[in-house]
Structure 1
Amino acid sequence: MHSKELLKGTLQMIILKLLADEGKMYGYEITQKVKELSDGQMVLTEGALYPTLHKLEAEGLLITEKVSMGKRIRKYYRLTETGQSSVLKKVDEFTDFISMMSRVLQIKPAL
């Protein structure tokens, strides 16, 4: 497991990238996909996920769609045009950050 601080700093980017790749997803689906992709090492809690989703929605990066599933209503999230254009920027920014941190910490790439 990684520290909550590291996750908090990357959660917006993770959500945006997932939605860019998958189209639309609902909250539980996002948590399970992150868990699957991280081989169980990253577990998103509702307390971290939903405030981030709401913040991204308030910033105009996401929109929601409610779909009836029998007696339940499922809320799907998908990217707006602004959200789509910000994904690549955020991923590039994070990739540059990882590269810079590797240099700062003098981490040598695995062979």
Structure 2
Amino acid sequence: MNANPMLKGTLQTIILKLLEDNGRMYGYEITQKVKEVSAGEVMLTEGALYPALHKLEGEGLLQTTSEIVDGRARKYYSLTPQGGKAVTSKMEEARAFIEQLQNLLDLKPAIK
């Protein structure tokens, strides 16, 4: 992940949301999608991505399948039913946090 430490707390939410939107994805595909969507501003490293994927899998939120593609094994990640439910709660938590941060930093116009 790029040098912005604020992104570290949102990595699981980003992964879950990408998998909800795209179905199954493999690791490199996830890094490229994040790069594309952020116009190159967010770069996920393997050192950040794979521990997060393994943690989510260990928590029962992701499942994996493997396929041979061009003679190489490729591991795909997808949401479990529990992971699908987690996306909703993580997105609600993220929205609430962003709203409070905007209020605290006075980035949001006051309602009059």
Per the shorter chain, which TM-score range? over 0.9
Q: Which residue is equivalent to 2:87?
A: 87
Return the offset for 1:49: 0.2
Return the offset for 1:61: 0.2
Q: Which residue is equivalent to 2:24?
A: 24
Q: What do residues 77-108 of structure 1 show as CA deviations (whole Å, max 9, x unaligned)?
A: 00000000010110011001000011111113
Return the offset for 1:5: 1.6
Runs (4+) off by over 3 Å? 1-4
Return the offset for 1:2: 6.3
Q: Which residue is equivalent to 2:10?
A: 10
Amino acid at match of 1:53: L
TM-score (norm: length of structure 2) = 0.92
Give 5+ residue unaligned stretches, structure 1.
none
Structure 1 pair 94/61, CA: closer, same or farther in 2 (3 Å)? same
Identity of aligned residues (%): 58
TM-score (norm: length of structure 1) = 0.93
| Distance in structure 1 (CA, Å) of the matches to 2:54 and 2:79 | 13
**Aligned counterparts, 1:27-42, within 5 A:** 27-42=27-42
Q: Which residue is equivalent to 2:50?
A: 50
Give 5+ residue unaligned stretches, structure 2.
none
